[in-house]
Amino acid sequence: MKIKKQKLGLNTVCTHTGEVEDKQFKGAVSPIYLSSSYAFEDIDEKRYPRYFNTPNQQALCKKVAALEHTEAAMIFGSGMAAVSTSLLAFLHKGDHVVLQNALYGGTMNLVLEEFDKYGIEYSFTQSLNIKDFKKEIKKNTKVIYIETPSNPLLKITDIRKVAKLAKKHDLVTMIDNTFASPVNQLPATMGIDIVIHSATKYFGGHSDILAGAVAASAEHMNQIFQLAKNLGGSLSDFTVWMLERSMKTLGIRVKEQNKNALKLASFLEKHEAVENVYYPGLTSHPDYELAASQMSGFGGMMSFELKSEYNVSKFFKSLQLIKPSMSLAGVESTMLSPTQTSHALLTPEERKKQGISDGLIRFSVGIEEKQDLISDIKQAIKKSKKK
Ligand SMILES: *Cc1c(COP(=O)(O)O)cnc(C)c1O
């Protein structure tokens, strides 16, 4: 794919690229165009919200494409609309897709619950090692799908090696770049074809928007568009406008979250109650070198395990500042127990196989003062020690 070299710096793109100019009143922010009907300018250029081409949609797509260094982008009604439309646009009856084994739960459900109906074959890799991707490629493989860093253990997939392997076999590559965000990771510059986001997370950043985004070459984007207009997963222009507003601070939010997370991970690693910390920015992380080679920052997501002498439920109840919550990537810090929430439906054996222990806690680090977060965790740990 042609990489669009960005002339402007990150925070300038966040603030200025892709705005609807207010020609009439010269307002500082984009006006919202809510029309669902537009007079034809050209019979081939019909404007309609479900065609992803309202003024606000088109403006925001420019911002996303600029951030991901791609030619084009699209905004969707949810992260899963972005994931499902992208996959189904490139997979037809009889085709095969290789997916990495550690994936967002919703993506896993899409594959396991829906793909058989459409006659799409799939394999999950044994590990994130490139050898295991190679092993799963078949004659009818069309797509390789990865997600890095992964949820909830922050495992790292080698983006460049996957892209190279795919090129050799003429396959389309897709990445879920939600956890890293373009602030920390630019997969298109490393050879990945299609970059997918749950914009509900860092793009939105304030836990008040459900949205998705895809960035790719104009050609790949057009193939996704041809399906997207039939599936109908576009986002309302009100929410598009809110998302544009949120993304102005994407750069400063995520950089602050990077800094906080690294401090918090170092604190947790040294704490006597903590068994393990999974954060790619720690030199103790098994994939630290790989992460450092493909990420410019390590993100705001981490996981850690409390030792068995500590009661996880009691720990959650004792937190005062940090909210126990499913959501992630907001400006507020949140935590959850995968065993009690996202992975509750798995058997204990299945969880163990995935490396998810009962003491595991996923931590989405916000922008609060790090000292306040540390104090909150310290007091909650103290209260959760088993007698
Ligand atoms: C939340 C999430 C999704 C799904 O996004 P929705 O906006 O909830 O549809 C996909 N991938 C990752 C990594 C996520 O965290």
Per residue in 259-296, pLDDT tens?
999 999 999 999 999 999 999 999 999 999 999 999 99
- Is the C-alpha dihedral spanning 355, 357, 363, 369 positive or negative? negative
Q: Are residues 192 and 277 in the same domain?
A: no
The verdict on residue 314 lying in a domain is: yes
Give the chain's radius of gyration (CA, Å): 21
Tokens of residue 137, six digits: 């490629």
The verdict on residue 231 lying in a domain is: yes
Query: What is the CA(273)–ligand 1 centre distance, in A?
Result: 31
Q: Are residues 37 and 161 in the same domain?
A: yes
> What pLDDT digit, counting tens, does each position of 120-175 carry?
999 999 999 999 999 999 999 999 999 999 999 999 999 999 999 999 999 999 99
Q: What is the CATH number of the domain that holds 202?
A: 3.40.640.10
Mutational pocket test of ligand 1: of 104, 197, 334, 341, the residue with most ligand atoms within 8 Å of the beta carbon: 104
Q: Check residue 7 and give its pLDDT.
A: 84
Q: Are residues 61 and 96 in the same domain?
A: yes
Looking at 231, 247, 263, the residue that finishes a domain is 247
The verdict on residue 1 lying in a domain is: no
For the question of whether the overall pTM of this predicted structure is more than 0.85, the answer is: yes
Closest to 122 (Cα-Cα) out of 165, 90, 80, 164 = 90
Atom 5, ligand 1: which residue's CA is nearest? 79
Q: Are residues 43 and 180 in the same domain?
A: yes
The verdict on residue 5 lying in a domain is: no
Q: Check residue 41 and give its pLDDT.
A: 78
Q: Are residues 118 and 210 in the same domain?
A: yes
Query: What is the CA(16)–ligand 1 centre distance, in A?
Result: 26
Looking at 191, 224, 247, the residue that finishes a domain is 247
145 lines ligand 1 (CB under 6 A): no
Query: What is the CA(25)–ligand 1 centre distance, in A?
Result: 37
| Residues 100, 106, 112: CA angle, nearest 5 degrees | 65
The verdict on residue 263 lying in a domain is: yes
Looking at 201, 227, 247, the residue that finishes a domain is 247
Structural domain containing residue 48: 10-247
Q: Check residue 296 and give its pLDDT.
A: 98
Q: Are residues 226 and 329 in the same domain?
A: no
Q: Check residue 353 and give its pLDDT.
A: 82
Q: What is the CATH number of the domain that holds 283?
A: 3.90.1150.10
Strands 212-216, 194-198: pairing is: antiparallel
The verdict on residue 88 lying in a domain is: yes
**4 pLDDT more than 80:** no
105 lines ligand 1 (CB under 6 A): no
Task: Indicate the average pLDDT of the chain.
Answer: 95
Please give the sequence-ordered ranges of beta strands (E in DSSP) within the chain, or none if there are none: 72-76, 96-99, 121-124, 141-147, 172-176, 194-198, 212-216, 274-278, 301-306, 323-324, 334-336, 360-364
Say if residues 194 and 173 touch (Cβ distance below 8 Å). Answer: yes
Looking at residues 294-308, what average pLDDT do you find? 97
78 lines ligand 1 (CB under 6 A): yes
Say if residues 145 and 193 touch (Cβ distance below 8 Å). Answer: no
**368 pLDDT more than 70:** yes
Q: Are residues 89 and 234 in the same domain?
A: yes
Q: Check residue 387 and give its pLDDT.
A: 85
Looking at residues 299-324, what average pLDDT do you find? 96
Q: Are residues 186 and 69 in the same domain?
A: yes
86 lines ligand 1 (CB under 6 A): no
Tokens of residue 163, six digits: 């892209």
Q: To the nearest whole percent, how much of the chain has pLDDT over 70?
A: 98
> What pLDDT digit, counting tens, does each position of 205-222 carry?
999 999 999 999 999 999
The verdict on residue 232 lying in a domain is: yes
Q: Check residue 122 and give its pLDDT.
A: 98
Q: Are residues 128 and 260 in the same domain?
A: no
Label residue 345 by pLDDT band (50, 70, 90): confident
> What pLDDT digit, counting tens, does each position of 312-343 carry?
999 999 999 999 998 899 999 999 999 888 78
**3 pLDDT more than 90:** no
Closest to 121 (Cα-Cα) out of 101, 100, 92 = 92
Tokens of residue 213, six digits: 């985004």
Q: Are residues 180 and 308 in the same domain?
A: no
Looking at residues 66-78, what average pLDDT do you find? 98
Q: Coil, helix or strand for 300? A: coil
Q: Are residues 306 and 322 in the same domain?
A: yes
Closest to 35 (Cα-Cα) out of 23, 51, 21, 48 = 48
> Count of domains in the chain?
2
User: Could you tell me which residue, 41 or 321, shows the higher pLDDT?
Assistant: 321
Closest to 365 (Cα-Cα) out of 283, 281, 295 = 281
Q: Are residues 309 and 217 in the same domain?
A: no
